[in-house]
Amino acid sequence: MLTNPAEFAALLQRFFTERLLQQRHASPRTIAAYRDTFRLLLKYAEREKGKSPTRLALIDFDAPLVVNFLAYLEFERHNTVRTRNARLATIRAFAHYVALQCPPALQLAQQIQAIPMKRFEKPLLGFLSREEIQALLAAPDGSTWCGQRDRLLLTLLYNTGARVSELIGINVADVTLTPTPSVRLHGKGRKQRTVPLWKETACKVRHWLLYANLKPEQPLVPTRMGLPMTRSNVAERIELAMGTAAKQCASLQSRKVSPHTLRHTTAMHLLQAGIDITVIALWLGHESPVTTHGYIEADLSMKERALATIALPPDSRQVRYRPSDDLLKFLESL
């Protein structure tokens, strides 16, 4: 059984069709993420084992292969530790399924499940100042079709704090302009939320709908062909706008801005405007307000750095504590 390629192929197919689709009713995005992980894993296994995916057996799907695959993701594909851990979570889920469905493979599955997630430093959340975001929003050329589309794209990202997957999933029918302008976002795990549109954003949406002549079932920010934009499309348009905005706003010249940076910017500006953290959590679609606490920490750190730069009064002196005991001196030197 462990050496039969047909058994491995059948287990993998049942994992998707039965476990994920039928039993867990996983969302299309989850299926796509799991699919991409196994595409990468099977191609890597083919390279390392010298076997095509159809010839791979359960015996080939062992812990050393998975450990080496994770190293390949980090050091050859230059994936982040977060991505590495997400891929491992997918593989461990499959190993758990294999352990239940194929007892002879229990030891193999347990060894894979024992591979730990990798710890990593959580960087301080990056966000743009109000001057920087205004320069970015004004960067696209409003006299062209792509420029108007990009201005709306950036404005929506800033207004809604949407994830990039949520933005490209907005159809015209998801927008309500009267009586209270809002947009319906399709979030992670099939969760939906409605986010209010600011007056300026609503005006841009109205103008865009008249200009582009879009139908209700079409994407609100489509490609030239009328198709939904991809993640890479959005990243490219932001990078292009950044190049233009940096010429007007010098502080943007050394910045790396992603769609998620705009999401952080929305949260920070709402927080600085005095909006309650629970409202921000609902605005961003966080399952728990605990996730939103990172923005409070980022804001406090920013204030502490500002305080550290304030010069002391002329008549004040900084006094450094000096230990009087040799043992204390030793501890101080550590």
Q: Which of 188, 191, 247, 329 is catalytic?
A: 188
**Is 295 tagged catalytic?**
yes
Q: What's the token pair of residue 333? A: 């030197």
**Is 247 tagged catalytic?**
no
Contact 245, 239 (CB under 8 A): no
> Quick one: how far is CA 138 from the chain centroid?
25
Q: Which of 92, 255, 260, 269 is catalytic?
A: 260
Whether the bond between 28 and the residue before it is cis, its omega within 30 degrees of 0, is no
Q: Which of 19, 149, 186, 263 is catalytic?
A: 263
**Is 163 tagged catalytic?**
yes
**Under DSSP, is residue 314 helix (H, G, I), strand (E, B) or coil?**
coil
Which helix H or strand E contains 61, and what residues bound it? none
**Is 286 tagged catalytic?**
yes
Q: Which of 19, 87, 151, 163 is catalytic?
A: 163
Largest CA-CA distance found in the chain, in angstroms, rounded: 82
208 residue type, one letter: W
3-state SS, 207-266, equals HHHHHHCCCCCCECCECCCCCECCHHHHHHHHHHHHHHHHHHCHHHCCCCCCHHHHHHHH
**Is 263 tagged catalytic?**
yes
Rg over CA atoms, the chain = 25
Dump strand ranges (E) for the chain. 175-176, 182-186, 192-196
**Is 320 tagged catalytic?**
no
* Active site amino acids: 163, 188, 260, 263, 286, 295
